Amino acid sequence: MHQFHYRDGILHCEDVNLQLLAAEHGTPLYVYSANTLRENYQRLDQALTGLDHHIAYAVKANSNLSVLRLLAGLGSGFDIVSGGELFRVIKAGGNPALCSFAGVGKTAEEITYALEQGIYCFNIESLAELEFISSVAGNISTVAPVALRINPNVDAGTHKYISTGKAENKFGIDHESVREVYARASKLPHIQIRGIQMHIGSQLTSATPFVEAVERVLPLVSDLQASHDLEFFSIGGGIGIVYEEALASGPPDWWTRQEEPPLSPEVYAHHLVPLLESLNLKILLEPGRYMSGNAGILLTTCLYEKKGQAKAFKIVDAGMNDLIRPALYDGHHEIVTVRECDVTNRITADVVGPICESGDFFCQDREVPDFAKGELVALMSAGAYSFTMASNYNSRPLPAEILVSGATAQIARERQTFTDLVAGEH
């Protein structure tokens, strides 16, 4: 699942000693394992052997150029949601012809840029957007390849902020109207219908909602195939990861707890391949978190301990601006010390950052190692939706990012400086 493990009492990423890495680059520091990314990609790809498929990594999960370059090298396509993401993919050597552009609010500038770069497909989220893309394509005398995103109205059973396939969500075109919108698309001169797409949500830990959504959409897909020239069916992303079993090597049982059962690529494929293989369409997948989530961690240093009247606090040098998932989604990130410590020496505490908000926490009332000032600590499973959601709030420079491969650690992004903080300001 990942390559963070203790060796000689020190947490390593692959063959790199994280204590030495933090001493060299400072904290907070994001560290990614290249081999975990490679393994995740290949494992999913292999699980789908026999199905005509293509993986389009969801760039929003982790858009560092080094990560994108690695995945492009493995043959990955990309699910993008902005002109900026397309720019990153191209900069990283990715192929625009393997990019699908999703999102409910694409602008004229983004559409034009994507058309000029020759992307594979726009995933259309509304009739209004379809008409607009047709007119933008017309302005530059070209044709826009599209897929309609269908909202299958199923409950993904995940956090409400990351559930996207219910009728009340802003995403996709409802099941009832989709035929009509395809009919309209087929009449627009600057539109070429290429496929159909759906995405029901993120961090799904069971195959059931995927199966339910595919089963709901399949009759429609077959119908549409009869009247339109479909090339692909994208079943979106959403494969969940295990956040509460961050370390591969045990045994302390609090690391091997599995409160969220893993939805492995094999289980996912086992349920979905039989439904999809007879379709005679290319199946696209858009995994983000699955690919990079457990491939990264955030290293942080304990600045102070504070015993409040009601609680014990451990104050670390990373804040909610660096990793917002706990504050925004009650996201769980396992917290471990880089020095392997006595597992009985634990305390119930809040691990918090320096930001001036009470929402600035990495855990609340959780049993964590009883670490003290100066201790180097790892927030696990921070390879997806972590750096990409970071901000400069409280005028804090963004952390550096390191990509480890074997015994080599490369700077994937420099730490921001105070000068970077005010760049472009007047």
How far, in Å, are 16, 19, 337, 357, 419 from residue 10 at the CA level? Answer: 10, 7, 9, 32, 34
Measured from the CB atom, the residue of 82 and 301 that comes closer to ligand LLP is 82
Q: Of 296, 391, 302, 385, which is closest to residue 334 (Cα–Cα)?
A: 296
Measured from the CB atom, the residue of 313 and 329 that comes closer to ligand LLP is 329
Measured from the CB atom, the residue of 94 and 288 that comes closer to ligand LLP is 288
At residue 186, the 3 state secondary structure works out as helix
CA pair distance 198, 233, nearest whole angstrom: 8
For residue 196, what are the contacts with CB-CB under 8 A and spacing of at least 6?
A: 147, 148, 150, 217, 220, 221, 224, 230, 232, 233, 234
Minimum gap (Å) between residue 93 Cβ and ligand LLP: 22
Measured from the CB atom, the residue of 28 and 326 that comes closer to ligand LLP is 326
3-state secondary structure 249-286: CCCCHHHHCCCCCCCCHHHHHHHHHHHHHHHCCEEEEC
Residues 90, 85, 169, CA angle at the centre, nearest 5°?
145
CA pair distance 362, 73, nearest whole angstrom: 34
How far, in Å, are 16, 29, 36, 284, 326 from residue 411 at the CA level? Answer: 13, 10, 17, 32, 26
Minimum gap (Å) between residue 398 Cβ and ligand LLP: 17
Estimate the crossing angle of helix 108-117 against helix 83-91, to 10 degrees: 30
Measured from the CB atom, the residue of 79 and 334 that comes closer to ligand LLP is 79
Minimum gap (Å) between residue 102 Cβ and ligand LLP: 4
Bond before 265 cis per omega within 30 degrees:
no
CA atoms within 13 A of residue 131's CA, in its CB half-sphere: 5
Minimum gap (Å) between residue 325 Cβ and ligand LLP: 5
Residue the block writes with tokens 């690919």: 291
Both tokens of 85, joined, read 């993401």
Measured from the CB atom, the residue of 11 and 281 that comes closer to ligand LLP is 281
Minimum gap (Å) between residue 18 Cβ and ligand LLP: 23
- Per the CB < 8 A criterion, the answer to whether 46 and 277 are in contact is no
Measured from the CB atom, the residue of 45 and 340 that comes closer to ligand LLP is 45
Measured from the CB atom, the residue of 14 and 334 that comes closer to ligand LLP is 334
- Residue from 99, 302, 356, 363 carrying the catalytic annotation: 356
- Per the CB < 8 A criterion, the answer to whether 98 and 109 are in contact is no
Minimum gap (Å) between residue 104 Cβ and ligand LLP: 10
Q: What is the DSSP string of 50-86?
A: TS-EEEEEEGGG---HHHHHHHHHTT-EEEE-SHHHH
How far, in Å, are 26, 30, 92, 289, 316 from residue 362 at the CA level? Answer: 19, 15, 32, 19, 10
Measured from the CB atom, the residue of 14 and 85 that comes closer to ligand LLP is 85
For residue 84, what are the contacts with CB-CB under 8 A and spacing of at least 6?
A: none
Minimum gap (Å) between residue 384 Cβ and ligand LLP: 6
Minimum gap (Å) between residue 406 Cβ and ligand LLP: 26
Minimum gap (Å) between residue 426 Cβ and ligand LLP: 32
Judged by the rule CB under 6 A, the positions of this chain that interact with ligand LLP are: 58, 61, 79, 102, 162, 164, 199, 202-203, 236-239, 286-290, 325, 329, 385
Q: How many residues does the chain have?
A: 426
Instruction: Tell me if residue 99 is catalytic.
Output: no
Report the catalytic residues: 356
